[in-house]
Structure 1
Amino acid sequence: MPRCLRAPGRHRRAAARRPLRRGDRHRSGCAQSSSRRIRSSSSARPGWHSINYRHPDAGFVCAIFPAAERVQLVFEHGVRLPDPEGRLSGTGRQVRSLDFPAGSDVDAAVVAEFLDLAVELGIGLRAR
């Protein structure tokens, strides 16, 4: 069991507030396997009707916008992501999103692929 879940008192509260770092374990107890994956080295924060995800090396990567009729996974630099199958929607100059209608199945492999691409893109943009 990860230390942040089994340790009593102050440590548990402090661990719940700070962002996950490379080498940490998730609050759910799964070991990190890849620093590229957004779920393994990111922090989630509430935002403008959304849950925002920031990677320590890539910066802000994406946000989830839940609504009654759909859920959108919005990528900040989505226009720069490769999308040969046309899965991303949006017409703006920067942002693109994966849209999931209410009650539809989510293809986890597609989401993971776009998350990995978005993190790699963010790292590259910040390295400039």
Structure 2
Amino acid sequence: MRALGLDIGVKTIGVAASDELGLAAHPVETIARRGTEADVARVVALVAEREVGDVVVGLPLELSGQAGRRARRVRLFIDALGRALGDEVGVHEWDERFSTAAVERVLVDADLSRRRRKQVIDKQAAAYILQGWLDARRQPE
């Protein structure tokens, strides 16, 4: 079953999806934020369209590993998403520290213009988050 990855920002939500085997994450889209209810509804629609079994949400922890103001806001979204999806779909938090910075470095190295980077950074960060979760799941205990 597929997984969906989310990079939740103030203005946008980056979305990525895995392949059917759960091996690779691919950028899907960037959702313009319109409020928690509308944003959750869009994610729920994507879950149904793509037959997703797990949603992985990047949690922006502080450098110390503590949950700051941004992480608390994301957890409010996670709670709303969990209520909307019910028990059928797992919703998981994933430490996203440095994900956007790592993706930004890759895009700069690829010589993408600033404008093009702005268009793809959120969904690429979502793919980075989801790929980390997928890789961790495959590691032997």
Q: Could you tell me the TM-score, scaled by structure 2's length?
A: 0.29
Q: Which has the higher contact order (CA 8 A, sep 6+)?
A: 2
Indicate the structure (1 or 2) with the bigger Cα radius of gyration.
1
